[in-house]
Amino acid sequence: MTITPAEFLKLELEMGISADNPSFRELARKTAECITEPYADVFDFGAGTGLYSNAFHELGKAVFAYEIWAEHRAYMFEKFPDLVQVNSVFTTDLLLMIEVAEHLTEQELRYFFSRVTPRLILFSSTPYKNPEFDVQWGHINVRETEEWVFFFKDLGYKVKRMPGLPTPWALLLEKTQNTKQI
């Protein structure tokens, strides 16, 4: 059984994915600072508790946080009232997709990338399968890093580097000149 959005947020906060956790705030800050490539603005798809969005905002970047769950949007508004929350997707220079893709089907991901074509993507999606955990957390598309590299190559992206943040399996992807139609 999948947990509800309210239960998901509660568990995230208990795990320390929280504005009140200095260690997680530091991880978000270091993640934002590890993107040394120039970029103009940021779209955080599946912004969750908003810590990554806020870290990029604190660097002076224009950040647009997109989150489908009302509970998470309310949390972000309470903790980071200056963040710009949006309810539609659009292209920015840098896309954050941090621990979101495992919650989406291949078809949903392809549809998303047919509408959004950022120059850079900071991508992280757990490569570890855990059947009981995956069902509870709504993980329906867990892939190894190499499989994601192939997926993004098919969409016209190449790995620029592996920044090591926010997870060891994170990828910084860059749009290539030769792009396939989705």
Summarised one tens digit per residue, pLDDT across range 143-167 is 999 999 999 999 999 999 999 999 9
pLDDT of residue 182: 45
pLDDT of residue 159: 98
pLDDT of residue 10: 95
Q: What is the pLDDT of residues 103-142, one digit of tens each?
A: 888 999 999 999 999 999 999 998 878 877 777 777 888 8
Of 22, 33, 89, 23, residue with least CA distance to 58: 33
Token pair listed for 132:
């009981």
pLDDT of residue 129: 85
pLDDT of residue 66: 98
Mean pLDDT of 170-178: 89
Distances (CA, A) of 149 to 50, 160, 177: 26, 11, 17
Is the Cα torsion angle 18, 21, 24, 25 positive or negative in sign? positive
* Alpha carbon distance 4, 53 (integer Å): 23
- Least confident range from 23-27, 41-45, 93-97, 100-104: namely 100-104
pLDDT higher than threshold 70 for residue 180: no
Helices (H), the chain: 5-15, 22-33, 51-58, 70-79, 106-115, 131-137, 145-154
**Percent share of the chain, pLDDT over 90:** 82
pLDDT higher than threshold 80 for residue 1: no
